[in-house]
């Protein structure tokens, strides 16, 4: 496929607004692209306007499977007026493409789609199956990868590549991510008579204070560092002259294998249960979603092969890295099947979710060639 055609695929993907939804438009575009090159694919609906996409090429009789996976959604743009170029214009300047999702992760998606098309057009023999997995909702709960994992889509994998932006470096480990709510029930009263009410804000602040030190004894991961935790949203009260009857907060925690998601949940329950022993404190904990941390052995064939190919492609040794975000791999690896995960893609990790998000087009081309060479050699 010519470089201009590859660029048009990336530009079209970025131009499709799939902010926290509308993934069906992205899935339909990729499905039509695949069909034009003789590749069958399956749209798997999640909700109206939201669809996953799965495709395979290679030896249909083989039980050797490599998956290339990426999410079809993006985060919100924020105020478009703050962008140098409109976020869905896919503007190219000085060999850099700007737009929401350009790094996270439509450049990864485009590279994987192009890989499938190139291999299919060339009739490249693969002694195994190469699977494309496009998911909905990774940015807000990973419901797509959860759904597909429950349907068995990871049960036969020998390796998984997630195309998140890593700047062409190879990520072998990442933190988990756990989001939660704490609700506080108080009792409303006139602000001139606070003794007749129960101040939900005051009681919920007790949780904020306790959370600050609740994880002080958590161990530090040699790979991922310390567990990170923050209260990030706080809401309470209705008007200034009334004692607030309700308040709520949200928090985010980045679990590590040494203090995993269940340990985090248990600790949160301990904090809430202890505070509820105090007079008039009524707190309720709700876990919104829970991604587990991922660590793959850098000596695994998938990671060693990816690094060797990328070293040659970039003409210098790429770095083995960890990141502190989470990916769809946290859901896919809930399968009873055990397989290595490589997180590898174009665009800088720091560009993800940012205003003026962008991807360097030379890096995009390099990463696409790594995907293609990896598929050829892993399934050789």
Q: Are residues 116 and 168 in the same domain?
A: yes
d(CA 244, CA 366): 57
d(CA 165, CA 75): 14
Q: Are residues 51 and 136 in the same domain?
A: yes
Q: Can you give the CATH number for the domain in which 240 is found?
A: 3.30.70.360
Q: List Cα–Cα distances, 29 to 22, 36, 69, in angstroms.
A: 12, 11, 16
Q: Are residues 240 and 201 in the same domain?
A: yes
Total tally of structural domains belonging to the chain: 2
Query: Tokens representing 80?
Result: 């478009």
d(CA 208, CA 272): 11
pLDDT tens, residue order, the chain (380 aa): 888 999 999 999 999 999 999 999 999 999 999 999 999 999 999 999 999 999 999 999 999 999 999 999 999 999 999 999 999 999 999 999 999 999 999 999 999 999 999 999 999 999 999 999 999 999 988 999 999 999 999 999 999 999 999 999 999 999 999 999 999 999 999 999 999 999 999 999 999 999 999 999 999 999 999 999 999 999 999 999 999 999 999 999 999 999 999 999 999 999 999 999 999 999 999 999 899 999 999 999 999 999 999 999 999 999 999 998 889 999 999 999 999 999 999 999 999 999 999 999 999 999 999 999 999 999 98
Q: Are residues 168 and 188 in the same domain?
A: no
Q: Are residues 156 and 235 in the same domain?
A: no
How far apart, in Å, do the first and last CA atoms of the chain sit?
A: 22
At which of 254, 269, 291 does a domain end?
A: 291
Torsion of CA 142, 31, 127, 164, to 10 degrees: -40
Residue whose structure tokens are 């195309």: 163
pLDDT of residue 140: 87
Q: Are residues 196 and 164 in the same domain?
A: no
Query: Tokens representing 128?
Result: 């195994």
At which of 256, 291, 326 does a domain end?
A: 291
Q: Can you give the CATH number for the domain in which 60 is found?
A: 3.40.630.10
At which of 253, 272, 291 does a domain end?
A: 291
pLDDT of residue 76: 95
Pairing of strands 177-185, 96-98: unpaired
Model pLDDT for residues 267-304, shown as the tens digit of each residue: 999 999 999 999 999 999 999 989 999 999 999 999 99
pLDDT of residue 360: 98
Residue 371: strand, helix, or coil: helix
pLDDT of residue 141: 87
Q: Are residues 232 and 127 in the same domain?
A: no
Of 268, 325, 328, nearest to 141 (Cα)? 328
Q: List Cα–Cα distances, 338 to 73, 148, 159, in angstroms.
A: 27, 16, 9
Q: Are residues 242 and 154 in the same domain?
A: no
pLDDT of residue 325: 86
Q: List Cα–Cα distances, 25 to 49, 71, 89, in angstroms.
A: 7, 13, 16
Q: Answer for the pair 46, 126: CB distance below 8 angstroms, yes or no.
A: no
- Domain of 217 in residue numbering reads as 177-291
d(CA 183, CA 201): 10
pLDDT of residue 357: 98
Buried b (16+ CB within 10 A) or exposed e, 77-115: beeeeebebebbebbbeeebbbbbbbbbbbbbbbbbbbb
Q: Answer for the pair 104, 75: CB distance below 8 angstroms, yes or no.
A: yes
Residue whose structure tokens are 């269940």: 262
Q: Are residues 191 and 238 in the same domain?
A: yes
Q: Are residues 364 and 315 in the same domain?
A: yes
User: Looking at the whole model, is its pTM more than 0.85?
Assistant: yes
Q: Other C-beta atoms within 10 Å of 295: how many?
A: 17
């Amino acid at each position: 496929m010519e470089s201009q055609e590859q660029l048009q695929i990336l530009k079209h993907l970025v131009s499709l607004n799939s902010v926290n939804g509308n993934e069906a438009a992205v899935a339909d575009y990729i499905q039509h692209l695949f069909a034009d090159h003789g590749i069958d694919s399956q749209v798997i609906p999640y909700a109206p306007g939201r669809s996953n996409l799965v495709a395979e090429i290679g030896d249909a009789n083989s039980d050797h499977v490599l998956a290339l996976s990426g999410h079809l959604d993006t985060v919100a743009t924020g105020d478009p007026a703050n962008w140098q170029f409109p976020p869905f214009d896919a503007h190219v300047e000085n060999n850099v493409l700007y737009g929401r999702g350009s790094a996270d992760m439509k450049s990864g998606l485009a590279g994987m789609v192009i890989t499938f098309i190139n291999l299919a057009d060339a009739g490249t023999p693969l002694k195994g199956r190469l699977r494309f997995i496009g998911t909905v909702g990774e940015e807000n709960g990973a419901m797509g990868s959860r759904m597909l994992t429950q349907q068995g889509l990871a049960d036969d994998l020998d390796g998984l590549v997630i195309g998140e932006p890593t700047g062409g470096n190879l990520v072998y480990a990442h933190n988990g991510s756990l989001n939660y709510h704490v609700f506080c029930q108080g009792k409303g009263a006139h602000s001139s008579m606070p003794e007749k009410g129960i101040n939900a804000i005051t009681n919920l602040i007790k949780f904020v204070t306790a959370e600050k030190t609740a994880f002080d004894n958590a161990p530090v991961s040699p790979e991922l560092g310390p567990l990170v935790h923050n209260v990030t949203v706080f809401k309470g009260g209705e008007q200034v002259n009334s004692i607030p009857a309700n308040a709520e907060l949200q928090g985010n925690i980045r679990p590590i294998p040494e203090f995993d998601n269940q340990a985090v949940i248990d600790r949160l329950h301990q904090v809430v249960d202890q505070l509820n022993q105090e007079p008039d404190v009524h707190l309720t904990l709700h876990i919104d979603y829970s991604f587990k941390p991922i660590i793959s052995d850098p000596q695994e064939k998938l990671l060693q092969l990816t690094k060797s190919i990328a070293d040659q492609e970039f003409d210098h040794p790429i770095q083995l890295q960890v990141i502190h975000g989470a990916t769809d791999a946290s859901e896919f690896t809930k399968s009873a099947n055990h397989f290595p995960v490589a997180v590898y893609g174009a665009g800088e990790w720091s560009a993800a979710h940012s205003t003026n998000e962008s991807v360097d087009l030379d890096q995009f081309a390099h990463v696409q060639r790594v995907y293609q060479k990896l598929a050829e050699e892993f399934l050789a």
